[in-house]
Each structure stands twice: as structure tokens, then as C-alpha cells.
Amino acid sequence: MRTATTITLTTTYLLLVLLTVKSSLVLELDGQWKLEDSTRNYQELNANVPGGIYTDLMENKILEDVFFGFRDVETRWVAQNNWTYFRNFVVDEALLAHDNIKLVFDGLDTFSQIILNDHLIGTSENMFVQYIFDVLPYLQNGINTLQVRFTSPILMAKHLFEKQAMDYLVPPACVPIEYNGECHANHIRKMQASFSWDWGPALPSVGIWKSVRIEAYNSGLIRHVLVSTEADQSDNWNVKVTTYFDGNINDELLGDLLIRLQTNLDVVETIYDISFTNIGNGELVHTAMFTIPKLHVDLWWPNGYGNPTLYQMTVTFKSSNQEEMCKKTLKIGFRTISLVQDKIGTKQESGLSFYFIVNNVPIFAKGTNSIPLNILPEKGYDSTTIQFLLKSAQAAHMNMIRVWGGGVYESDEFYEVCDELGIMVWQDFMFACAMYPVNEEFLSTVKEEVRYQVRRLQYHPSIILWAANNENEAALRQDWYGTYSDFELYKSDFIKLYVDTIRNEVFKSDTSRQFLTSSPTNGLQSELDGYIALNPASNFFGDVHYYNYLTDSWEQDSMPIPRFSSEYGLQSFPTIPSLLTATNSTTDLLFNSNFMKHRQHHPGGNEEMLALMSMRLPIVSNENENFYKAYIFYTQIHQSMGIKLQTEKYRIWRSSLNIIDQGFTMGALYWQLNDVWMAPTWSGIDFNLNWKMLHYYAKKFFSPILIAGYQSTSRNVSIHIVSDLTSNIYNATATVNIYNWDSFEPVHTENHQAIIMSGLSTSITSFWVDTTLSEAQCGTDISAKYECFLHLSLTDNNGLPLAPDNFLFPAALKDSHLRSSTVKIGAVTQMTKDGTEYDIQVITDGIALFVWLEVDKIKGIFSDNGFMMITKATVVKFYPNAPTSLDEIKNYVTVTHLTDSQYF
């Protein structure tokens, strides 16, 4: 290899160089295929690739919408059958003339045999692996026949479970009965949630769920490009580019490698004369290093901290005989990142910190967890869904999403959009809530999976962390699946899978990021404890998952103060219009209907929600004919308030410790962003991509500047200002207004002026709430808390808002002396000629809580929703997803609120 030289070429010159060589040939095999089952009850059905069996059977009208009614269990026969996809394709002499011809499947779900012209050329067993088969010996000039014969994943999982059980059991055997699911998902490398979860149905698809093609080349073909950027102590970025080739297995790979990077000031190009032989399995690797002055590029920043600047890099290989060229283009970012786990305090039991520093700035992680974008994996590639969900996260000021470990490694577009929006990705590997086998066959396919996925995703600046699994450290230590009696055996399996196999394989390709052996975990302390922490739920180390369905969800003192909360949540139902896309009957929405029971997979979930809501909200008797309407609506209120108060607590504790050194909380990722069907879940956005009340609240509680009240069980209230800004704000004014339920005029006002805000959490005042309310003439010390509430605002020295207004209820709303207000829609005004923005006036005759707008049949987003009205009128903007007429908005817009007469 000759020494790299850095030169600058004009675009015209580069084009002339590339035109002197020819590219490898690619024959795309996506599109129309045929389909049949092993019993031949269904023959010559039309099928689509990429696709899956449920989607294809719906397209052929053999199945109706599998997300409707009870069809998830009514269609159980589909996954129990074996299915074959097949097609003919034509190959010409030009393609056959190449030295190397490969058949490439980007995704096969899951167990299959691949038959080309009646020759078995290979098998698949892992949904998350790219399969590449040498087909040069089997192709023929003219018509060729390709079959992919899929075996039932249900039957294969059962077979592998029974085979493993001959040695010892790897639990759990099945999901809880309430899931209506399938068994033994942990024995196969397939989307674990496709066998059902507590938020989704069992629809274990089979199919060619990603693209398939034939690639023909002579010298070499670029498979993956890995890029690491490291800032040195001087004024440069050190760039490391690792290129993985499929090479000619018979000859050396000879030629030039051109790396071209467009920076702010110029085009940087480096040329390498490469000459090396095969390193095994036809794989060739080349590593290049070069430097770029820091002044030539801008940094990639998380959402809210700066621009997520990206730069285009093209890696081109040109064979030495000038006969062949291949290239790969990607966008990279320049950023530094580290996970800080430093000792806190002077006592051993005080624990370690756990937070991310990006570009030398400590980042409070604000965000959520994403589950698969669709339980039918090929539908998770829908660009509209990807764009909507991630832009919704950005709009709610989120800077991090955790890709949860029971789903899939998401599409290239998913990570590309995260790069573009500045959304950091906490990436789990696809292992969740189970023990897993560690036999040779299983570990072998896991290695392939990790190797492929890390190489595919490594260059994305948005990915900040690899985590080996979801909750399996906690499951083992806390004996979720009866493993305590053989703890050392399962601990050994844990280490063999997540440390010796997955971690080691990750570090072969990527050492630029932190690796965690589980989530939640105690991080470094877990490693010291032999990778299974004595208490994986500790608030003094690492990250925690916290769920509590027994105590008051609005009581902040009952919530933990962890270093980082990577999961916490409460359930709610989608709205009634959304639910009625999954059933035709409103009687199915009654509390104890079979439909409502079927859709609730969390054991006892509907009853839990009712019990928790009843602690705070004025629930009508279930004898009332409108009870189901109140119940469904109130679940969203309860969820939004519970997550709001918990998130605010986490943000308040970002820069302080309590007396036992809990605190310095630096992450809040609630469960969960999205849905895979219409059901009660923990999501903030429903299956039809409608924002639930929670997502509107997230837009406020994740705002860059927050004013919030904290009421302790002793009834002391403290008012806090939290800022994520990296610069100070001077002369801010915090206003605490006290209102009673009868008037739009506050009965008492306090202004706290000349506030200086830094990037921390600051308490600006505290008081005994009952005394303050009594002094404000809200009643006696005993009755005052029922008569009034607090409203908080924060403004700059020009009186402009710095943070969303907030509120605090001193007593449970079910006990407060609420009034039954009348809320109506006023004027509706079209604001743009193309019908993409409307102003909707809302009018009330009294204080109104949780005012909720809907435009039935028209999808879109409001500027605010689920809000509180302390004025007679307010205007809310509505942005329909597609141009809409004024008459349609007027006809379909509705409004409701907490004390609407239909509930109260």
C-alpha cells in the first residue's frame, strides 16, 4: 500500500475518471413473486417482495385486515403452515461473463431453504442476517427459477425448545396467557415481539422481508464502510475508514481506493493503492486513516443543542485493469461522545454517575423507547411512518430514542433520519425478557447477526450506545423465570452470550462507542459484580426501568430518583375514533367487553387503570351509560399527568443530590413512542399515527426550559426552573398565580424577578401549600386545597414566554370543588391557501381542564391539546397531514374536557 496523499480534484475531473471504468452488474429481484402453501390449498397466489405472508394473504383477499377485531387469533393457522415464495427471472450472457455472481437476501424471515434451478444453494435461520450465496455454478443463460421455502417459525421454535430441553430448560417456555401468544420465541432469531407482547398481537410472519438481488462482479464489491472520527489534541479530526469487500476468492484484489469527503471549505480526497489477498470466506478488509482540520467541518449536535451537520463521503474502488468500479456513498458526522460513570461523593455506597457527554457538553437525555414500527416487519420500512414518528419525536424536543431489544434492527432510513434530526439512538441488540440458549449453533448465528448489524449501522453519528439486551440482567438476578435454583448455570450462559460473544464481536468492528451488557444495568458496577449486579434496579448506578401500578401515579415522592431512567410508563387507550378502526361496534368499547379484554395483554391492566385513575379523577359509576367514554378519555389524562410529573421530577434532580446521594439524574426515556395495533398500551402515538395526549404533554415537559412545581407528601411545594441551554438567561420572571375554580381572575399572584438561569435545575421558592392557599382566601387550611390550584409561567424581560405554562393541583381532582364548564368551538379560520393550516377558536364559560380537540376523519396535529383553559377563549392551530377544506374542518372538529356533561 502506498502512502495516502490528500488532493483536491474538480467534479469534472472526477466524472472523467469514473467514466473510464464500468460498474458491476446488479439484477434486482424485488417485485412480483408467486406464493403457495405446503398443503397446496393455496397455489399461484400473487406475492410482493419485500413482503410477508400476512400482507400477501390480505392482498389476495384470503385474509381480511389482521389488525381488526379478533383476527390475530383467528389467523393463527397462517404461522403454523409452511409457505413457498417462487419466481422466474432471466439472466443474459453479459451477467454470466463475470467471475463472481452472488444472490443476496437482505432479510429472510426466518427459517428457509433457497432453491435455484432445483439446486439447494443454502438455508436461513436468522431474520437479522444478510444472506449471500454463490450462484455462479447454478445459473443458466435464459430463464431461471428461484424458490424460497419457509418453515413455520412456530414449529421450529417448538422443535428447538424440545432439543434444548434434553440438556436443560432455557425459560420462559411461553408468554403469559393474557398475551394470546405463541411459545419459545427465545429459541429462534426472529422478532421476539412477533410471538406477542403485552402491547401487541402474535403475528409471526414469514417472508422475504427485505430486498433481494443478484450481484455480478469480477474483482471486488464494497459491502460495508465503517467510519470513526476522533478529535485529537491539536486542531484536527482523525478519520478512520474501514472498507469491507467481497473479493475474488481465487485472485488477489488489486486496484485503487478513492475516499472523497465534501467539507465546508473543499473536497478532500485520498487515494490508496491496495493489494491484499483474501482473509477468509471471500472477505477483504482495508483500513484508511487521514486527518481533516477542525475548522473545515461543523459538529454534529443532538436535537436542541445545535445543528446535526452531516457530510457526504464516497468510497470508490477501481480495479487495477481499469475494467471495474464500485462505490458506496454515506453521510457522516463529526462528534465526540462518552458515557461518564464517575464516583459520586466520598462513600462507596454513593455510587456512580451515568450520563452522556457530546462534544464536551453534558446532555440530559430526553426521549422515549421505540418498539417495532409494525409487527409485520416489511411494513416497518414505510417511509411515511418513519418520517412521522421521528419528526414527532423531534417536535417534542426529544434528543434520544432507545430502539428496544425485542423488535428489529430498524431500516437504514430510520437511522438516516435520526442522523438528520439530531436524535441520538440507544441501540439494543434483539434479546428481551428471557434466558437464551448458548449452544454452538445459536452462538454462531448470533455472531453473524452482530457482525452484520454493527457493520451496517456503525457509521451513523446518531448511534451512541450498544446494549446487549432488554432486562435480562434484572430477570436473572430477580428470578423472573425460576432460574434461582440454578443461578450459576444461567449466569454463565449470560456471560457467554452477552460478554464473550456479543461484546467481543461488537468490538471487532466498533470500539468508538460504549457497550452495556444489559438495560437496565448498574454499568461498571455490574461488571465488578460479575455482570449480574446484586441490585440491577439500584438508583445509585446505571439506568433503571420503573413501573408502579399500585400507588398514586401523581404522587411524586413515590417515584425514584435514579441516575438515568431508560424506561417508565403508564397505559392508556387510544381515542374512541381510533378504536373504532379496529371494531365496528361501540358495544365492544364497554369496560368488560370481550374485545376490551382481548386487546388488553397486560394482566389486570384495565382494572389497574381504573383503580389508579380513581385516586385522582372524578370517575362516574360504571352503571352510567357514558362510563366507557369517560374511562377511555380519562386513561389518556391519567397517563399524561403521571408521565409528566415523573419526567419533571427527573429533570428537577439533574443537578443535585438528596441526603443519601440519590440524584444527578441525566436521562428520561419513557415507555413508549409508538404502537403496533389499536389497544391499551403505554404509547404516546397510536397505531394510526395520531398523537395521544401524552405526546402533546411531552412537547411541554421536554421543552428546553421548564418551570415546574413539586409537591411533597408533607404538602410542601417547591417551584423549579430547569434549563438545557448551554448559555445563561438573565432577568427572567417566574409568576405563580393562584386560581379558584369559579373565576378567570387569579385570587393571588407572586412574581419572582431577576432570575438568572444556567444549564441546571434551580429552586426559586418553596412554601407550605395549605398555608399559602388559606392566605390567598381559598378557604380554611382544611378546605383551601379543594378550592384552588396553582398556575406557573416564566417570561423574559420583555414579557415573552420562556417556557410552557404549567400547573399544579394541591388536591386530587375527584375531591376538588370543580365546576361543570361548557366548552365550545368558536370561529374556524383557514390560514393558508393550500388548506394546510387552520386556527380553531375554543370558548369556555369557566375554568376547563384537559381540553381535548379532535378532527374526526382528518389526520393532523394541533399546536396544543389536552390543555388547561384559564381564559374565556383561546386559539389552537391545526395542521392537517394533507390539504383540507374549511368546511371539512368545521364539520368534523369536536371538543371535550374533564367536566364535560357526558362524563361528569
Measured from the Cβ of residue 73, the count of other Cβ atoms closer than 10 Å reads 13
**Do residues 718 and 779 both lie within one domain?**
yes
HEC secondary structure over 269-326: EEEEEEEECCCCCCEEEEEEEEEEEHHHCCCECCCCCCCECCEEEEEEEEECCCCCEE
Tell whether 769 is covered by a domain: yes
pLDDT score of 3: 33
**Do residues 436 and 468 both lie within one domain?**
yes
Backbone angles phi, psi at 488, to 5 degrees: -65, -35
**Do residues 389 and 535 both lie within one domain?**
yes
Cα 359 from Cα 337, distance rounded (Å):
6
Tell whether 376 is covered by a domain: yes
**Do residues 665 and 717 both lie within one domain?**
no
Closest CA to 197 of 432, 368, 369, 474: 432
Q: Are 205 and 110 in contact (CB under 8 A)?
A: no
CATH for 835: 2.60.40.10
**Do residues 378 and 422 both lie within one domain?**
yes
pLDDT score of 625: 82
Tell whether 337 is covered by a domain: no
**Do residues 438 and 522 both lie within one domain?**
yes
Q: Are 359 and 309 in contact (CB under 8 A)?
A: no
Cα angle 473, 479, 484; round to 5: 105
CATH for 660: 3.20.20.80
**Do residues 321 and 389 both lie within one domain?**
no
Which of 471, 473, 505, 787 is the catalytic position?
471
DSSP state of 63: S
Tell whether 857 is covered by a domain: yes
pLDDT score of 5: 32
**Do residues 744 and 651 both lie within one domain?**
no
Of 654, 679, 698, which one is at a domain's C-terminal end?
A: 698
Tell whether 97 is covered by a domain: yes
Cα 133 from Cα 248, distance rounded (Å):
14
pLDDT score of 276: 64
* pLDDT under 50: residue ranges of the chain: 1-21
Tell whether 342 is covered by a domain: no
Dig out the grid coordinates for 694 from the structure: 401524552
Closest CA to 817 of 743, 867, 750: 743
Closest CA to 773 of 813, 735, 809: 809
**Do residues 99 and 14 both lie within one domain?**
no
**Do residues 378 and 428 both lie within one domain?**
yes
Could you give the count of Cα atoms lying within 13 Å of 479 in the half-sphere of its Cβ? 7
Which of 36, 125, 324, 567 is the catalytic position?
567
Cα 24 from Cα 556, distance rounded (Å):
62
Length of the chain, please? 904
471 in active site: yes
Q: Are 365 and 374 in contact (CB under 8 A)?
A: no
Cα 567 from Cα 547, distance rounded (Å):
8
Of 670, 698, 726, which one is at a domain's C-terminal end?
A: 698
**Do residues 208 and 72 both lie within one domain?**
yes
Contacts of residue 99, Cβ cutoff 8 Å, sequence gap at least 6: 136, 217, 218, 219, 248, 250
Please give the model's pTM, rounded to 2 decimal places.
0.95
In terms of DSSP bridges, do strands 748-757 and 729-740 run parallel, antiparallel, or are they unpaired? antiparallel
Tell whether 351 is covered by a domain: no
pLDDT score of 576: 96
Tell whether 225 is covered by a domain: yes
CATH for 100: 2.60.120.260
**Do residues 518 and 379 both lie within one domain?**
yes
E strand intervals along 23-82: 25-28, 31-37, 45-49
230 in active site: no
Residue 275, domain extent: 5-20+220-332
Of 680, 698, 716, which one is at a domain's C-terminal end?
A: 698
Indicate the number of domains in the chain. Answer: 5
pLDDT score of 11: 27
pLDDT score of 48: 98
